[in-house]
A and B are shown apart, each in its own frame.
Chain A
Amino acid sequence: MKTRIHVTLKNGVLDPQGKAIHHALESLGFEGVNDVRQGKLIELDLDDDVSDADIEAMCRKLLANMVIENFEIERDHSEAAAA
């Protein structure tokens, strides 16, 4: 089962990469972009019996740094449902 982990910087943590992207969008002439925050997407292919608690532990222990980052877990049940 595919599970996506979205890791984002916490509010208030400076995101220089997001700022650079924002600046580049403005340079290209796009208007109305108020702010850009950059994060990362980590896609896990997991056995169906891996528990939500285990996935959360993976995030807390390694995938996200809780000092500076938040994470969101998105489990995709569609493949299992289709099968």
Chain B
Amino acid sequence: MQSAVIVFPGSNCDRDMAVALEQATGTRPHMVWHRETELPNGLGLIALPGGFSYGDYLRSGAIGANSPIMREVKAAADRGVAVLGVCNGFQLLTEAGLLPGALLRNAGINFICRDVALTVASSQTAFTSRYEANEAITIPVAHHDGNYFADEATLDRIEGEGRVAFRYGERVNGSARDIAGIVNEAGNVLGMMPHPERMIEPAHGGTDGKRLFDGLVAALV
């Protein structure tokens, strides 16, 4: 399956994401610079990696969300292409309007970089099919602005629609209802703050992230 990683000035998890995608798909992903105006043909999966697009100078992900390639990413998402945004990629997806809500500064102010306990809130998405519902997993986080915020009506709606994919199993950053990752209404766009691409081989301390990529590719092929 053909996949792509969108590379922004400030992306720093793009190569890790590429390794994870190559391992899962068997094919090296296209690395697409944010100034491009077209995506390669036949993509099944687009990843927005972690990092600090445009230095987070306005808000995390705000300037990157207006990069030329994001118009194409939005069009692809509307056509049903799977889009995975991790960390800064999640921030980009909210800023681009592909996912509801916003990511605020962590409640404790500190940058947080460590493994965290997550629970899989739904195994009914293409992204979480290799997990059991309510399963406890471990995935690292590394973020300053991971405090998920949405108004109560939006939170009720996404919970009611089963769109919360992952929750923190501990208080990490102040996120509303401990939300760590959500999918869009159609289920083909996932944004999450933790980094599954940093948990894909035993040397990483676990492989709980690998199952996201393997399950996703299995669901898409």
CB contact between B62 and one of A13, A16, A62 (< 8 Å): that residue: A62
Give Cα distance in the complex from A62 to B100, angstroms.
Answer: 16
CB contact between B58 and one of A16, A63, A67 (< 8 Å): that residue: A63
Inter-subunit contact A16/B106 (CB<8 Å): yes
Give Cα distance in the complex from A39 to B174, angstroms.
Answer: 20
Give Cα distance in the complex from A68 to B149, angstroms.
Answer: 8
A46 at the interface (CB under 8 A from B): no
Q: Which residues of A contact B58 (CB under 8 A)?
A: 62-63
Inter-subunit contact A65/B102 (CB<8 Å): yes
Interface size grouping (class) on chain B: 20 to 34
A14 at the interface (CB under 8 A from B): yes
Contact with A along B118-160 (1 / 0, CB 8 A): 0000000000000000000000000000010111000000000
Inter-subunit contact A16/B102 (CB<8 Å): no
Inter-subunit contact B102/A68 (CB<8 Å): yes
Give Cα distance in the complex from A69 to B179, angstroms.
Answer: 21
Which applies to chain A's interface (DSSP): helix, strand, loop or mixed?
helix
- Which partner residue on chain B sits nearest A38 by CB separation? B105
Inter-subunit contact A14/B62 (CB<8 Å): no
- Which partner residue on chain A sits nearest B101 by CB separation? A67
Given known A62-B62, A62-B66, A63-B58, contact A13–B109 (CB-CB < 8 A): no
Give Cα distance in the complex from A36 to B106, angstroms.
Answer: 17
Give Cα distance in the complex from A20 to B58, angstroms.
Answer: 20
B220 at the interface (CB under 8 A from A): no
Inter-subunit contact B174/A65 (CB<8 Å): no
Inter-subunit contact B105/A68 (CB<8 Å): no
Q: Which residues of A contact B95 (CB under 8 A)?
A: 65
Inter-subunit contact A13/B149 (CB<8 Å): yes
Q: Which residues of A contact B150 (CB under 8 A)?
A: 67
Q: Which residues of B contact A68 (CB under 8 A)?
A: 102, 104, 149
Instruction: Given contact pairs A62-B63, A67-B150, enumerate 4 new A-B contacts (beta carbons under 8 Å).
Output: A16-B105, A63-B58, A67-B100, A67-B149
Could you pull out 16 A-B pairs where Cβ atoms are within 8 angstroms?
A13-B149, A14-B107, A14-B147, A14-B174, A16-B106, A16-B109, A17-B105, A62-B58, A63-B58, A65-B95, A67-B94, A67-B102, A67-B149, A67-B150, A68-B102, A68-B104
Binding site for A on B (CB under 8 A): 58-59, 62-63, 66, 94-95, 100-102, 104-109, 147, 149-151, 174
Interchain residue pairs A-B with the least CB separation, the first 3: A67-B102, A68-B102, A16-B109
Binding site for B on A (CB under 8 A): 13-14, 16-17, 20, 61-63, 65, 67-68
